[in-house]
Amino acid sequence: MILEAENVTKNFGGLVAVNKINLAVEEGMIHCIIGPNGAGKTTLFNILTGELPATSGQVFFKGKKITGLPPHQIARLRIGRSFQQAQLFRNLTVLENVRLAAQAHHRGHFNILRHFRYFAHPIEEAISVLGELHIMDLATQKAGELSHGQQRILEVAMALADNPVLLLLDEPTSGMSPNESVKMIGLLRKLGQRITLLIIEHNMNLVMSVSSVITVLHQGVIIASGAPDEIARDSQVRSAYLGRSTR
Partner 1 sequence: MIDTALGKKKPLVDWEIIILAGSFLVLQFILPFKMLVTEIMIFALGAVAFNILLGFTGLLSFGQAALFGPGAYASGLLLIHFGWHPLITLLLSCLTGAFLAAIIGLMSIRKEGVYFVMLTMAFNGLVYFIIYQMKEITGGEDGLLNVPRPDLSLVPGIKLSIQSTFQFFWFVWIIFILSMIAIKRIIDSPLGHILVAVRENPTRTRTIGYNINHYKLLSFVMSGFFTGLAGGLYAMFLKMVPITVVEMWTSGDFIIIALVGGVGSLYGPVIGAVLVKILSEVLAELWARWLFILGLTFIVFVMFMRGGLWGMIMGIKDKMLFKKSNLEGQP
Q: What is the binding site for partner 1 (CB under 8 A)?
A: 49, 51, 70-73, 75-76, 81, 83, 87-96, 99-101, 103-105, 108-119, 122-123, 127, 139-140, 158, 161-162
Half-sphere exposure of 104 (CA within 13 A, CB side): 23
Q: Are strands 213-218 and 221-226 parallel, antiparallel or unpaired?
A: antiparallel
CA dist 141 and 143 (Å) reads 6
Nearer to partner 1, 80 or 220 (CB): 80
Nearer to partner 1, 122 or 220 (CB): 122
Nearer to partner 1, 61 or 211 (CB): 61
| Least distance in angstroms from the C-beta of 60 to partner 1 | 20
Nearer to partner 1, 110 or 235 (CB): 110
| Least distance in angstroms from the C-beta of 14 to partner 1 | 27
User: How many other C-beta atoms are found inside a 10 Å radius of the C-beta of residue 57?
Assistant: 18
CA dist 58 and 64 (Å) reads 10
Nearer to partner 1, 56 or 91 (CB): 91
- Residue 130 corresponds to which amino acid? L
The enclosing H or E element of 73 equals: helix 71-76
| Least distance in angstroms from the C-beta of 140 to partner 1 | 4
- Alpha helix (H) residue ranges in 133-193: 148-160, 178-192
| Least distance in angstroms from the C-beta of 196 to partner 1 | 17
| Least distance in angstroms from the C-beta of 244 to partner 1 | 38
Angle (CA) 145-151-157 rounded to 5° is 125
Nearer to partner 1, 55 or 93 (CB): 93
Q: What is the DSSP string of 28-54?
A: T-EEEEE-STTSSHHHHHHHHTTSS--
| Least distance in angstroms from the C-beta of 154 to partner 1 | 11
